[in-house]
Amino acid sequence: MNLQRFHGMSPALATPFTATEALDLDRLDVLIDGYLSCGVHGISVAGSQGEFFALDEAEHIALLERCVEAVDGRVPVVAGCGRSNLTETRRVLAAAEKIGIDMAMLITPYFAQPSQTELAAHFVGLAGETRLPVVLYNNPPRTSVNVAPQTLVSVMDAAQNVVGIKDSAGDMTQSIEYLVSTNRRAMLFSGRDTLTLSMVLSGGHGAVSPACNVFPRLLVRLYGTAVSGDLAEAQRISDLLAPLRAAWVLGSFPVVIKEAMTMAGRSAGPARAPISPLGAEARAKLKSVVEAIMPEEEALAS
């Protein structure tokens, strides 16, 4: 496994839908080409921002296939392979390997709340069914299941192709414990934009970033300045982007990022029902956030 390929900023790609909420694979091609032209280091598909939970199994696999075709080897593709049940997860994981995905991302089970022992067994079992490198996906605000640092240690000890974790928990103490506790140093990817800079400076490998859907050039610059030691500029960009994360309270996940994408000229269409579009007042507030950041994004394109 050449793990050096996996670093930097990858958009947590929003799955595009038409106005009637059909999967829009042609629009996916446009979005991916746009992100690659902005210098992103990878593409992450079928995660939470990608509404994997709203896709049926056939759509999920079709999305992975089209993503690999559109990227065409230019950057690594990390694919969320989790489903609401183990049988479908196994099938999607097998399909991901066959399709040519570069790394599998496995979210914790959700609704069911397994113990840490059960969680470790779940991940070790799935990792044993694929030759792909695997990152775990910890998102307890959405799943109500947290991956304890010692669980990551146990999984990485038992499954050599498990290489790290994407962490959206929002707990920097736990994130650092992931890094320092494992016998093989874990790869760590931020899933929360306001903590991305802190994770990178603590030894993390980058981010699977919702904000990168809207402002890819700024996220790429944030990473570049952080790793090159221009910490003042990295901090300035992180602070500039923070209001976008704060704006998530304006609507139900994941509609805020999708509407911000439209405002930024990168439309991925609506979120699937039951999530509704923003109301007029919320949309106006979000527009002011996007418009305050947009000049900096546009300046990087010149």
Please report, in range form, the residues annotated as the binding site for pyruvate.
Answer: 208
Active-site residue (options: 35, 98, 110, 137): 137
State yes or no: is 223 an active-site residue.
no
Assigned token pair, 300: 């990087």
Find the angle CA(116)-CA(121)-CA(127) to the nearest 5 degrees: 125
The Cβ-side half-sphere exposure at 260, using a 13 Å CA radius, reads 32
Assigned token pair, 150: 């010692």
Going by C-beta distance under 8 Å and a sequence separation of 6 or more, which residues neighbour residue 283?
A: 259, 277
State yes or no: is 166 an active-site residue.
yes
Q: How far apart are CA 69 and CA 80, in angstroms?
A: 16
Active-site residue (options: 166, 178, 223, 258): 166
The catalytic residue positions are 137, 166
